[in-house]
Amino acid sequence: METTVITSEYLLEVAKNTIEAVEYCFLITLSESGQANARLIQHFKPNADMTIWIGTSPKTRKVHEISNDNRVTVTFQDDKEYTYVTLLGLASVETDLSERQRYWHEDSIAYFPEGSQGDDYVVIKFVPSQIELMNFARNIVPKPFGLLPAVLVKAGESWVIESNNLK
């Protein structure tokens, strides 16, 4: 049996593959009282630096909460590989027309009749600073089960392993 060497590059690749494999994820923001609010959202594939973009209306609770506290968590689950990826980082609401056009799903026209150019469409830019993951299909699991997952943190332009309790 071939053993995979767990490197930050490998963990990043697995995280990116998971994010690209699932259509929906959970976006978790903080209310003014500090309560976590989670909602299922559709995301765009991650950029090379793992930035995630999300289209939405500027009238939503998530936009209001990000405007008050931009600390955000985004989490993905893929049942096929018994895996999850959780990203922690900072979000911003972007109104730039070129970004709104770049991050537009054609099937969103039902929710945003004026399209990406309408005033009711903005994009959330989420820049992660930490990535947590487990993937049982690829043997990225803690030892013994139930302890710490793999954790990557952003160090400049690179991702480095912060914890590696993997078997």
| Position with higher pLDDT, 136 vs 45 | 45
What is the C-alpha separation between 159 and 49, in angstroms, rounded?
9
Residue 135 has phi, psi (to 5 degrees) of -150, 105
What was the pLDDT predicted at 33? Answer: 96
pLDDT > 90 in the chain, percent: 85
Residues linked to residue 91 through DSSP beta bridges, in sequence order: 126
Contacts of 153 (CB under 8 A, 6+ apart): 129, 130, 131, 159, 160, 162
Whole-model pTM over 0.85: yes
Give the chain's domains with CATH numbers.
Answer: 8-163 (2.30.110.10)
Query: Which 8-state DSSP code applies to residue 53?
Result: E
What was the pLDDT predicted at 89? Answer: 98
Does pLDDT of 79 surpass 50? yes
C-alpha distance from residue 33 to each of 26, 36, 59, 127, 157 (Å):
20, 9, 19, 23, 33
Q: Angle at CA 12, nearest 5°, toward 9 and 18?
A: 145
Instruction: Tell me what the pLDDT averaged over the chain comes to.
Output: 92
With CA atoms as reference, report the closest residue to 68 among 51, 88, 92, 86.
Answer: 92
Query: Which 8-state DSSP code applies to residue 115?
Result: G
